[in-house]
Homo-oligomer: A and B are copies of this chain.
Amino acid sequence: MAKQFVNRPLYLQLRDALVQKIAGGDWRPGTAIPNEADLAVDFGVSAGTMRKALDLMEAERLVTRKQGRGTFVNDPTADGLAVRFSNIRNADGHRIAGDVEVGSIVQAPATDGEIGHLRLRRGDEVYRVQRFRSHNGRLYMVEDAALPAALFPGLLQQPSLGNRIVVLARHWGVLLGRSQERVSISHPEKEITDALGCPAGAFVLSLDRVVFALDGRPIEWRVGYCQLADEQYVAEMA
């Protein structure tokens, strides 16, 4: 690799190559990758350019760099990262994902809504996962999630992996990007309010969320109904 041979900056090409090492499993979460000088030599670029690629990857939360120690591949299921798509916080103000119990998982052709949210084609299949989240022993959210079946082959054989999108993503080598959540007030069906332990016809928060992979593909659409007590819903704007 030398200069830039198309019109895409070298450091972006480098980033893609390094990302592939992670997504492909050559570099595993929690492990250190070679130091930036060695990497620069391996790829035939200057150290400064390699640094720019690595800095980008740190901003994308793929790696963590520590002066004096090295560059480490992040584990998306680790403490700080596992809850990054949850805007629900405990009384201390820390994000929580709750203790998750998986209900049913089924495979079926995508509905119109799923096709729209997950950018599928008619006839594509999805997995539908039902989840129950509790905190301090209290059930606070029930949710239905839909995932493109093509991205997570064999999920039905390992249903427990369906409990969190971060677990799914890690296991199938999908790198996580951003997420977007629509918040509204709704009064869900009786079976939902019953599960949440609130009166029939009660109003709860509806959390309609789509999670995107790093490359921009939508990978999960979930609608949750949420009854908060000590917990709070907190959005941040930068």
Query: B178, B184, B204: which contacts A236 (Cβ < 8 A)?
Result: B178
Q: Are A228 and B178 in contact (CB under 8 A)?
A: no
Residues from chain B with Cβ under 8 Å of A183 in the complex: 183, 205, 233-235
Does residue A238 face the partner (Cβ distance < 8 Å to B)? yes
- Minimum distance in angstroms from A141 CB to a CB of chain B: 14
Does residue A150 face the partner (Cβ distance < 8 Å to B)? no
Interface residues as binary, A194-238 with B (CB distance below 8 Å gives 1, 0 otherwise): 000000000111000000000000000000000010001111111
- A86 CA to B184 CA, complexed, in Å: 15
Does residue A135 face the partner (Cβ distance < 8 Å to B)? no
Among A84, A179, A235, the one with the most B-chain Cβ atoms within 10 Å of its Cβ is: A235
Q: Are A179 and B236 in contact (CB under 8 A)?
A: yes
Does residue A124 face the partner (Cβ distance < 8 Å to B)? no
* A178-B238, A203-B203 known; A233 vs B184 contact (CB < 8 Å): yes
Could you list some 15 contacts between A and B, CB below 8 A? A85-B237, A178-B237, A179-B236, A180-B235, A180-B236, A180-B237, A181-B236, A182-B232, A182-B233, A182-B234, A183-B205, A183-B235, A184-B205, A184-B233, A185-B185
